[in-house]
Amino acid sequence: MSRSYGRYALLRAAQAVVVILLAYIGTFLVISVLPGDPITNMLRDPQNGLTDDEIQQIVAHYGLDKPVVIQLILSLGRFVTGDLGFSLQSNLPVSQLLGDALPSTLTLAGTALLLSVAIAVVIAYGVQYLPSRWARGVLRSVPSLFLSVPNFVVGLILIEIFAFRLHAFTTIDPDSAAATLFAALTLAIPVSAPLAEVLIANLDHESRQEYALVARSRGLSQARLFARHLVKPSMLPAVAMIALIVGELLGGAVITETIFGRDGLGTVVQKAVTSQDVPVLQAVVSLAAVVFVTVNLLADLASPLLDPRLDAKSERDAKSERKVVVPV
Amino acid sequence: MTSLTGLVAPTERIRAAGRSAVRVPPTVAIAAVVIIIVLLWSLVPWLFTSYDPSVGDTAEKLMAPSGAHWFGTDHLGRDVFARVVHGTASSVTSALVAVSIGLVVGSIIGLASGFLRGAVDVVLGRVVDVLLAIPSFLLAVVIVSSLGFQTINAAIATGVSAIAIFARLMRAEVLRARGSVFVEASYLQGGNRLHALLGHILPNTYKSVIALAVLQFGTSILVIASLAFLGYGDPPPASDWGLLVASGKSYATAPWLIYAPALVIVITVLSVNRISTWLRRTQ
């Protein structure tokens, strides 16, 4: 396995780099080729108080007077060397802006990830083992409810109930532990739904297997059977979903941070969109692509190790045929 | 009913199973009614409310829901139910535009990848990878900021961010169908590639693609509502559902301004998802 695995790993890593570069180019084209010229509009906006000299400098730095292809090559060259440019809005280096915002978003997204896994496991466990058939049925439809509620509605309801009525946290101090927890919950609820659906489908499948019957006949309690035998095989498809979830978390952060008034990457995006701050937008999207592709790569590389039955080749085939649709 | 199934002969059971497959479960029927009402709201809103969505009576501002104003009134005394009903057309149409873009472009990409394979598959595969690599909501935000803040642009952005998921499903379905025995038989009987594609492969893929399209209709409503909520759609006095929630959140004393449009969004999307699940299961 090791040799073919090494080759598989290398190939996947190379593929990941290509996708990141293409994502950068794609974003660049979307921002600069589509109608409307955000940079020039923004520069010419009298409110910025930029002198003609300063405008000339910025135009020269970004090569805005040159053809798009040259601009793209310049921009790509800077990206590869780690230079993300300067924010048009604040004149700060983009890397500094993102660096300042990152810890807040990582805390939020990390907490949300843990919460969503916890919620999904609780739902999946309940669907299998709740004593009442009626309760199991209700619980089974919870993921589809979670998928139907917009992120911002969840946030507003949580704020309304827990901040305004129960005073469990205040929106004035969005970085407090309690406020972070509720913001993370807002982000976690829609994300937990597809995870729960996959877990439910796989637990349904695994608990019908003969080894589960054998284990039960040996007198294993349901909780033990669940923890010892069923969780591991059911988690594998969930691990493959982790990259999709990370993407959801990054996208959802834009709204969650806006609602809870947190200063994070989402707020940076929001400000950059309103002020047409192109270098910041470009950097955030590229960063998101890097994170997404890296997590995806790690999940792909981990799968054959988690399940020895998947050798590198069949894993590759399975992945390319994998449907995005959540199983019924 | 269940206690009897063990007693009837196997053939009877099979026949019963055949019949029940066509039968529509009650939850699906309710979902269908909801969707029909929502579609009617978007086509003939004036049949459902006599209030003007953009003119209000300031003497009646911020009134709680009542018999006269089902969803209450907003800070200008406008009837919230009227605003929701009149905002439906924009919300539903933009979701339809988004799904159409994703469905058409995604299906063509997936079809070309899966049917032609080779270099086409490799190139289009990378395009799809890239679209998937950017979180779809972030992608929609970037596109709408580049196109300009209008509801139609929000719809286009949502559609573009859904292309990848359609392309992947279509490719998988085409690969599945083209490997099947009946396609091979068609070739053996002298059928050409175009015939196999149109006569055998496409008819065997559209069902799951349609189920995904229905699901994406619900997702698109959510995404467009989110974009409108952030202020990336048409500005007020437009009354897109997401925009209604956004403007309602400044009035803490009038929670119905948030809950009423939010409830409409949730019930609509829930119904759409229910129908999509049913479509997928009855294949």
Tell me which of B38, B121, B134 to substitute to probe the interface with A (most A C-beta atoms closer than 10 Å): B134
CB contact under 8 A, A325 and B212: yes
Question: Who wins on pLDDT, A238 or B129?
Answer: B129
The answer to whether residue A179 scores a pLDDT higher than 90 is no
Between residues A63 and B81, which one has the greater pLDDT? B81
Does the residue B174 lie in any domain? Answer: yes
The whole-angstrom distance between A25's CA and the closest CA on chain B is 10
Q: Which residue of A has its CA nearest to B126?
A: A19
* Residue B7, pLDDT score: 45
Q: Angle formed by the axes of helices A2-33 and A312-321, to 10°? A: 30
What is the residue extent of each domain of chain A?
3-80, 94-308
The verdict on B26 touching A (C-beta cutoff 8 Å) is: no
CA distances from B257 to A109, B225, B268 (A): 29, 15, 18
3-state secondary structure of A50: coil
pLDDT in tens, A49-76: 667 777 777 777 766 667 777 778 877 8
Distance CA B276, CA B274 (A): 5
- Record: contact B137-A254, CB cut-off 8 A: yes
B157 interfacial to chain A (CB closer than 8 Å) = no
In-domain check, residue B11: no
- Give the CATH number of the domain where residue B89 resides: 1.10.3720.10
pLDDT value of residue A33? 66
Q: What is the pLDDT of residue A324?
A: 39
Find which of A152, A160, A165 to mutate to test the B interface (most B CBs within 10 Å of its CB): A152
pLDDT in tens, B244-282: 888 888 777 778 888 888 899 999 999 998 898 888 887
Residue of chain B nearest A41, judged by CA positions = B146
pLDDT for residue B75 is more than 90? no
CA distance to partner chain B, nearest, from residue A269 (Å)? 9
Mean pLDDT of A183-195: 91
CB contact under 8 Å between B146 and A292, yes or no, is: no
* Contact with chain A for residue B172, Cβ under 8 A: yes
Distance, in Å, from the CA atom of A11 to the CA atom of A4, rounded to the nearest integer, reads: 11
Assigned domain for B45 exists: no
Whether this model's pTM surpasses 0.80: yes
| Res. A309 pLDDT band, cuts 50 70 90 | low
> Greater confidence, A90 or B246?
B246
How many CB atoms within 10 Å of residue A27? 26
The model's confidence at residue B106, banded by pLDDT at 50, 70 and 90, is: very high
Chain B neighbors of A277, CB-CB under 8 A? none
Question: Which of chain B's residues have a Cβ under 8 Å away from the Cβ of A36?
Answer: 146-148
Whole-number Å distance between alpha carbons of B240 and A5: 51
Q: Can you say whether residue B72 is alpha, beta or left, with left for phi > 0 and alpha for psi between -120 and 50 degrees?
A: left
pLDDT class for A256, splitting at 50, 70, 90?
very high
Residue A42 has pLDDT above 70, yes or no: no
Average pLDDT score over residue span B169-184: 84
Chain mean pLDDT for chain B: 83
Bond before B237 cis per omega within 30 degrees: yes
> What fold does the segment set A94-308 form as a domain?
MetI-like fold (1.10.3720)
Instruction: Compute the count of residue pairs across chains A and B with CB atoms less than 8 Å apart.
Output: 151
Are residues A254 and B229, on separate chains, in Cβ contact within 8 Å? no
- Residue B3: pLDDT band (50, 70, 90) is very low
**B143/chain A closest Cα distance in angstroms:** 7
Residues A207-234: what's their mean pLDDT? 78
- The answer, yes or no, to whether ipTM is higher than 0.90 is no
Structure tokens given for B142: 């970037």
CA A84 → CA A37, A141, A309, distances in Å? 20, 45, 43
**In chain B, what residues touch A325 (CB-CB under 8 Å)?**
169, 208, 211-212, 215, 280
Contact A290, A185 (CB under 8 A): no
* A42-56, A183-197, B39-53, B104-118, range with the lowest pLDDT: A42-56
Structural domain includes residue B36 = no
Other C-beta atoms lying within 10 Å of the C-beta of residue B246 = 24
Q: A281: nearest CA in chain B?
A: B142
Of B143, B246, B270, Cβ closest to residue A144: B270
* pLDDT per position as a tens digit, B111-163: 998 888 888 888 888 888 888 888 888 889 888 888 888 888 899 999 998 99
Q: Which residues 118-137 in chain B show a CB within 8 A of chain A?
A: 125-127, 129-137
Is residue B180 one of the residues assigned to a domain?
Answer: yes
The answer, yes or no, to whether residue A313 has pLDDT greater than 60, is: no
Question: What is the predicted pLDDT for the residue at A49?
Answer: 65
B165 touches chain A (CB under 8 A): yes
The answer to whether the Cβ–Cβ distance between B142 and A151 falls below 8 Å is no
Q: Among residues of chain A, what percentage have pLDDT more than 90?
A: 7
- Asked whether the beta carbons of residue A292 and residue B242 sit closer than 8 angstroms, the reply is no
Residue type, B110: G
Residue A151 has pLDDT above 50, yes or no: yes
Mean of the per-residue pLDDT values of chain A: 79
Indicate yes or no: CB of B208 within 8 angstroms of CB of A164: no
Least confident range from A101-105, A259-263, B198-202: namely B198-202
Question: Is the model's pLDDT at A197 over the cut of 50?
Answer: yes
User: Which band of pLDDT confidence, cut at 50, 70 and 90, is reported for residue B89?
Assistant: confident
Q: Is residue A112 pLDDT above 90, yes or no?
A: yes
On chain A, the residues whose CB falls within 8 A of the CB of B226 are 150-152, 255
Structure tokens at A148: 């139907």
**Residue from the list B137, B142, B249 with its beta carbon closest to the beta carbon of A156:** B249
Measured between CB atoms, which of B129, B169, B211 is closest to A19?
B129
pLDDT in the model for residue B203? 83
Q: Is 70 exceeded by the pLDDT of residue A209?
A: yes
Residues of B in contact with A251 (CB under 8 A): 135-138
A24, A29, A154, A156, best to mutate vs chain B, most B CBs in 10 Å: A156
> What pLDDT sits at residue B5?
43
Residue A157: is its pLDDT beyond 60? yes
Summarize pLDDT for B4-36 with one digit per residue, the tens: 444 444 445 455 555 555 678 888 999 999 999
Place of tokens 């309304």: A160
Q: How many domains does chain B have?
A: 1
Q: Are the Cβ atoms of A273 and B218 closer than 8 angstroms? A: no
Of B129, B133, B218, the CB nearest to A148: B218
pLDDT of residue B4: 43
Contact A144 B273 (CB under 8 A): yes
Per-residue pLDDT band at A251 (split at 50, 70, 90): confident
Please give the average per-residue pLDDT across A283-287, as a whole number.
88
